[in-house]
Amino acid sequence: MNEHIQIERRGAIQSIRMNRPDKKNAITRAMYAAMAEALAAGDGDPDICCHVILGVPGAFSSGNDLADFMTVATGGEGGREVYDFLLALAKSQKPIVSGVDGIAVGIGTTINLHCDLTFATPRTEFRTPFVDLGLVPEAGSSLLAPAVIGRQQAFALLGLGEGFTAERAKEAGLIYAVVSEAELEAAVFEAAERIASKPPEALKIARDFLLGDRAPLIARIEEEGVQFRNRLKSDEARNAFMAFMSRKK
Ligand code: COA
């Protein structure tokens, strides 16, 4: 377990909450590991029918911890935790509902491409500045986003790093619904309860058909990962991380 990841059970629903508000929910290696473990545990537990992924008010996630990126950029060890988490998402056996409020940067956006239903608040902005950071899309987003929102919107999101408001994200098909901040968690849990009330075997078959063959997605996550790790060590990336780290000085 990890101090920044809260796992709770509500009946047949397992919720995973990122809770590192002072860093706008930047995700560390230990947080990825805790989330991967929770997804696997929920998948393996016949009493759990649905996963929920949440952040804190104003911050779903500011993406991967940039200090961890900097460690790799300067020759340190990166670890496989993020890939274990991404593979757990891509292989998930139970539906996933996410609730997003506020900041959703990098993996804070791409997590949602793996979710079956995403609710977001009007003040949410989805943004993936991978290229601006000298990086490349991750989490299978280069495969999922064109399929989910079409190639041109995917290019705007992943190539140009354009921010998508919740309204634009809904129009593009990236998310299921926009709800107020006050209603967000109720809407997420109500949807999760609806999912949990369905006949689980039929729902699993239906969901598996909707997801299709997951092998190409898993292969893409690994391929993107190879490029991503190389890019972390590039001058373009190192300069971008240094600019972020020194911006308040
Ligand atoms: N990694 C590590 N720390 C991060 C972080 C990240 N991805 N995002 C934010 N933080 C930290 C900040 O350094 C700051 O810490 P400090 O108070 O010790 O200085 C704290 O979280 C609050 O961030 P701040 O920038 O002051 O908040 P903001 O509301 O002005 O801006 C963001 C929020 C998310 C827009 C901005 O922090 C940002 O652009 N972060 C980087 C996002 C990013 O590039 N992620 C990687 C994508 S691949």
Closest C-alpha to ligand 1, atom 23: 23
Q: Nearest Cα to 68, choosing from 107, 110, 28?
A: 28
Q: Give the whole-angstrom CA distance, residue 98 versus residue 93.
A: 16
Contact (CB, 8 A) for 194 and 117 = no
In a domain, 196, yes or no: no
Half-sphere CA count of 49, side-chain side, radius 13 A = 17
Query: Could you tell me if 80 and 30 are in contact, meaning their C-beta atoms sit under 8 angstroms apart?
Result: no
The answer as to whether 168 is a domain residue is yes
In a domain, 237, yes or no: no
| 10-residue mean pLDDT series, the chain (249 residues) | 94 98 98 98 98 98 96 91 98 98 98 98 98 98 98 98 98 98 98 98 98 98 97 95 86
Tokens 């000298």, residue located: 134
Choose which residue among 19, 31, 62 to substitute to test ligand 1 binding: the one with the highest number of ligand atoms within 8 A of its C-beta.
Answer: 62
Q: What spacing in Å lies between the alpha carbon of 94 and ligand 1's midpoint?
A: 31
In a domain, 233, yes or no: no
Task: Tell which residue, 117, 223, 209, 124, has the closest CA to residue 164.
Answer: 124
The residue assigned the tokens 């780290």 is 245
244 Cα nearest atom in ligand 1: 41
What is the per-residue pLDDT for 248?
A: 74
pLDDT of amino acid 193: 98
Tracing tokens 């911050």 back to the chain, one arrives at: 59
The total domain count for the chain is 1
Q: Is the distance from the beta carbon of residue 15 to the nearest atom of ligand 1 less than 6 Å?
A: no
Contact 88/36 with Cβ under 8 angstroms?
Answer: yes
Residue 28 sits in a domain whose CATH number is: 3.90.226.10
- Cβ of residue 79 lying under 6 Å from some atom of ligand 1: no
Residue at 159 is within a domain? yes
Report the DSSP pairing between strands 125-127 and 164-165.
antiparallel
And the tokens for 114?
């793996």
User: Domain residues for 87?
Assistant: 5-182
pLDDT at 249 (0 to 100) = 65
